[in-house]
Chain A
């Protein structure tokens, strides 16, 4: 039911893990629904220098998490914010229709991580 690309990312997920001193962290989904993911980013000169994920969920949830880390790594924050759910699904050579909504949360998690970064930066500026 999954594309070869999805299975490849499921077998060998990229950038799996945590970043201890992350500049931004975004969590979306809920274990009650069966899918939950956290994205960690490290930002340098407005670019995503490092990115990692942790995911509880089905094959599609894990593959989309892995894929978004590949798509976002090295991009500026503005570019990264433009990555859509559809971009992630397309890069994975498609997802089963039933998975498009419930498990395709990675773009949202990345957005949440970047927003967290902006919020923290603003906090730092205000402190100074």
Chain B
């Protein structure tokens, strides 16, 4: 087996831009600089490219019309727009918002912000796999509930939510359903019409497009207010001259995803299962985080008892492998990931978590290499740890 020099398995943090995407973007960095809002031919070229990209993204999620795609600066802005925009526009119905407790911070923190503005916010519990508790969703929905925000799949543990069932429950109470699909987009098929989604957050880089671009799907008829005011671009919902090169790249990335998603997701799922199985079988006291089957094709989240995540990441990096962790030490706070605590892990278990996220350039050889080096990394750190049971040291 070859031992590759550098292996990147942190695709959840950032993905390389597909060369075909770069190719598509170059003319709009070099030659076509017109403002899509201008009336002249320079503007028209940009406008045409913008609308083509919009149509490609609409196709990816089977939106009823390209007009329902609003371009933004990325998933964080899309989530902020969905939550604050819907909340402020629908006060006449009520001031209650529901989100799951394992949402990304760009959903959790806008919800907490709404709380300071007099809204009532409920965070739903999840089970040990990270699945939203549908009974408590039903219980918490009220006449005044205006919005429910549930992610399509979780970035840290990979668990995919039963969005169609959730949608039926939410719509029975006439609330809107916002779905953050940042981790899922481009990996699993999303159909906003069949799934019954009112607002959907999309991210370009998570589909091998450039960073700094995203979109919010807003089903026609959904009542929402802009959070950025200005020249009235994007149907008045998101002012500011559109990032044309970025959006063109985003569109190309969506087109590639439509064509290649199925085959690539099957390939990644096989690699993911091999990696998880290899690690759990060769290392004692190693466990999977998240759902065993309902999980994203790229996500292998594993925890190792008695040791700490950052020291595992440093050890992997010394061997040329880039991964991430939900560990406190990598973040700016002492608290472990809110996601890992919400699925019921103890603090010390959460601290020992490592997240491998696979991508297009990863090969089976690379997965084999990680399976080969990981037992010794864990063994070395466990030998240092005062928490390791004596019988493991042998």
A residues sitting closer than 8 Å to B (CB atoms) are 2, 7, 10-11, 13, 16, 27, 31-38, 54-62, 98-99, 102-103
Contacts and interface: CB of A to CB of B under 8 A. Distances in A.
B88 to A, nearest CB: 35
A19 to B, nearest CB: 13
B39 interface: no
A40 to B, nearest CB: 10
A24 to B, nearest CB: 15
A7 B311 CA distance: 11
Contacts of A98: 332
A34 B383 contact: no
A34 B327 contact: yes
Interface stretch (B1-9, B153-161, B244-252, B384-392): B384-392
B336 A34 contact: yes
Nearest to A36: B386
A31 B351 CA distance: 8
Nearest to A32: B347
Instruction: Give the interface residue-count category, chain B.
Output: 20 to 34
Contacts of B351: 31, 34
B318 A56 contact: no
Contacts of A58: 308-311, 327, 329
B378 to A, nearest CB: 13
B348 interface: yes
Given A13-B384, A33-B334, A34-B329, A56 B314 contact: no
B307 interface: yes
Contacts of B314: 2, 7, 10, 59
B340 to A, nearest CB: 12
Contacts of A32: 346-348
Of A38, A60, A62, A99, chain B has the most CB atoms within 10 Å of the CB of A62
A27 B348 CA distance: 17
B208 interface: no
A32 B310 CA distance: 15
B386 A61 contact: no
Contacts of B334: 33-34, 102
Given A56-B384, A57-B329, 11 more contacts: A7-B314, A34-B334, A34-B348, A34-B351, A56-B348, A56-B386, A58-B308, A58-B311, A58-B327, A59-B310, A59-B314
Contacts of B346: 32
B118 to A, nearest CB: 34
A13 B385 CA distance: 12
Contact of A56 (B306, B328, B332, B336): B306
B14 to A, nearest CB: 16
A42 B307 CA distance: 26
A15 to B, nearest CB: 11
Given A35-B308, A102-B334, A56 B329 contact: no
Nearest to B329: A58
Residue among B307, B309, B328 with the highest chain A CB neighbour number at 10 A: B328
Nearest to A102: B334
A100 B196 CA distance: 49
B321 to A, nearest CB: 15
A38 B386 CA distance: 7
B384 A54 contact: yes
